[in-house]
Structure 1
């Protein structure tokens, strides 16, 4: 794996002639938009001690010349599915459709998701994310009985094991249509989420009595002081408007926690007047939105023998213009919902830029994988903060164009001032979990 540094960083030193985004610096050098600064970064005892104009910090013999290479803080992945990840070889999506994904995952969960299976796959994914430079992840956990009795205790153990490397949060995941027939489900699962310090969530559809069931989820969260994170309108059906109902429910109940809504694909199919109405409500209710462009483009508008014509991503530009907080995240990796991916947020940010046209200007969209998801998770990652841990990604690329043109280019990751081993786990590590003869291309 090509590296940036010629020798490892071991706790202290000066990263000279670095290029950093001003919008990610806290303090006197902070800036906005797409401004890039040429600086020296001094690291002492694993902390970011000083940021000064390039060429002004000597480094006392421990200086690394980055030759203009960019330095980013480690990144924050707001929406993933670690429990589903890596099952593609044994359970691929039969036709690439959303329903094909639902059925394939359901079958695999029932047949294979033991504690040992989920642990091994989550561990593999976390090793990948760590090597790429991610330091905080929120994962949704399928919480349909009896899986919640396996995945939640396991998550708490793996969160402790990974403490200091990746900060982990979990969200319960179930279809809100479950409450149509089993309203007793909600309280026990909310208790489990609260005990694990998690986030309350659900997949929302246009079901009968939607507002009543949304209110039940909100009240379960309010009773326990939990934030909310929903899967919302993951369809191109223009009649899907649960996003609007979520904002209205929040305002009606006076909910004070953080709300994140993921996907929100159907909004791209609405008439302008309806879009404006929904965005006004989101802004008023302070609902944040995370888009998952790689997964949504994989699933949405897929018809056999027909070229897809609609991107299936939500209206990030319009949201940000309203002051709505927006983020970009990985979503699924190597499972029936998305066949590819490696929890590499540099790749995700690059693809989002191309898919959503987050350029002309580049502006401060890098916040969508750094400071914005960090604030929504309530974690201290994603910024260059004096006195904070020197958790950094060092790139050979010198500007946005070079990075976005070659996202797989040379990269080092520094955690607590120390260079890490960026060796990625080998897929063969999971072979013992995959059924023989089921490997697909």
Structure 2
């Protein structure tokens, strides 16, 4: 566990430290698109946060490669190489989209290429565990199709929920925590070595999210963009694929001691595909609803709109931060309930607790006017921009719009001013004005 924690903290630290210079680079590169009608934020915000995340990913894997109990993950398989190859392709595609924009079909093709490269290097589904039957082998073609489909679904599900400050990073972090507990239990609880890569990838993914969140919480100073959201979705898919079909049920039966005890112990063996879907149940449901909604309206499934689940929470009266916390709550409920069901002796307790939490969540969901405040004694410990828990949608007369405070510092404003002045000065007759307008957003 100590080596996993060291890898996690290293990834988080590198991601956190890289995000600030990446933000400056995004401003200089003009990666700040103008605010669109479907956006929630009120002013242009730099993107390319995925650059910092990719740096954290590389740092975490580099650290793990020098740790005693994790080196075999790099020596006994090609999962790490396949991950880096696919992540590199996905990351480059996301960076291009953040800066210049990429057509939806081209983006889909790039996602399939990244998944295909990983399959070609051996990161593929080789069998599917079926309750009551065991592991059912699949053909190479079937394994390839399942793996590519899983990657594309995961990537787009995470991309769809990246609509509020801190939402995608927080929900993926919760999903990665649940998947880490699942993989770590198989590895150290039942001695299943094939679960070690999934545990490592989950730990690195947690670090990437935790390192980026301080910069991305409302009001966000930088967005992860597609370079970050697609990278996070890929990591979730890789953690799932790396463990699917590689767990031998006979090993668990032997460790459990008896067939009767193994029946419950085998529950986590039979859900390597189900667990990743439950931990992203909300974004997956949002993805399916969006496809149905847009197709029914005669639009392209890739046409953007403002009818996602987080948009609906804002419409019924929840504040920005409160809507994000509600989504966190439901994501954690689905993810950790699934993991808890696989480790308890009886599922009745889990079901009762889950039902009680669902009822609590529904009550909170229907109370958008309630605004909790931190106790006065804790106010000095809360960051200044988060001390006022009561957010207002409309700005006060003569003040900046709500949610924009703290997003741009004086240094950033000076940098933007110099960029605008330089562009305006270099724009000759008939040229340069368009670029200046794009940079300013």
Both proteins in one fold, TM over 0.5: no
The alignment's TM-score, normalised by the length of structure 1, stands at: 0.27
Greater helix content: 2
Larger Rg: 2
The alignment's TM-score, normalised by the length of structure 2, stands at: 0.27
State the structure with bigger RCO (CA 8 A, min sep 6), 1 or 2: 1
Greater strand content: 1
